[in-house]
Amino acid sequence: MNTIISIEQLSFGYGKEEVLKNVNATFAKGKLSVILGRNGSGKSTLFKIIAGLEKNYQGNLWITDKERRKIKIGTASPVRLGFLTQFHQTTFPFTVFDVVLTGRASFSRFSPKKSDYQEVEALLQKFNLTHLKDKAYTSLSGGERQLALLCRVLVQKPDLLMLDEPTNHLDLHYQVAVLEVIRQLVNEGTTVLCVMHDPNLAFLFGDDFFVMRQNELIPVSQSMEKDELKQLLEDTYQVPLLALDNQGIPMFAPQLK
The Cα diameter of the chain in Å comes to: 61
DSSP state of 158: -
Helix (H) or strand (E) holding 152: helix 142-154
What pLDDT score does 19 carry?
92
Contact 38, 214 (CB under 8 A): no
Share of the chain above pLDDT 90, in %: 49
**Domain range summary for the chain, segments of one domain joined by +:** 1-80+161-173+186-257, 93-157
What pLDDT score does 127 carry?
86
What pLDDT score does 110 carry?
57
What is the CATH number assigned to the segment(s) 1-80+161-173+186-257?
A: 3.40.50.300
Distance CA 163, CA 239 (A): 26
What pLDDT score does 44 carry?
87
Residues in the chain: 257
Task: Tell me the residue type at 206.
Answer: G
What pLDDT score does 190 carry?
93
What pLDDT score does 16 carry?
85
What pLDDT score does 74 carry?
61
Which residue numbers in the chain have pLDDT < 50? none
Task: Compute the Cα dihedral for 111, 72, 83, 2 and give only its sign.
Answer: positive
What pLDDT score does 120 carry?
92
User: Distances in Å between the alpha carbon of 167 and those of 21, 145, 198?
Assistant: 27, 11, 9
Q: Is 21 helix (H, G, I), strand (E, B) or coil?
A: strand
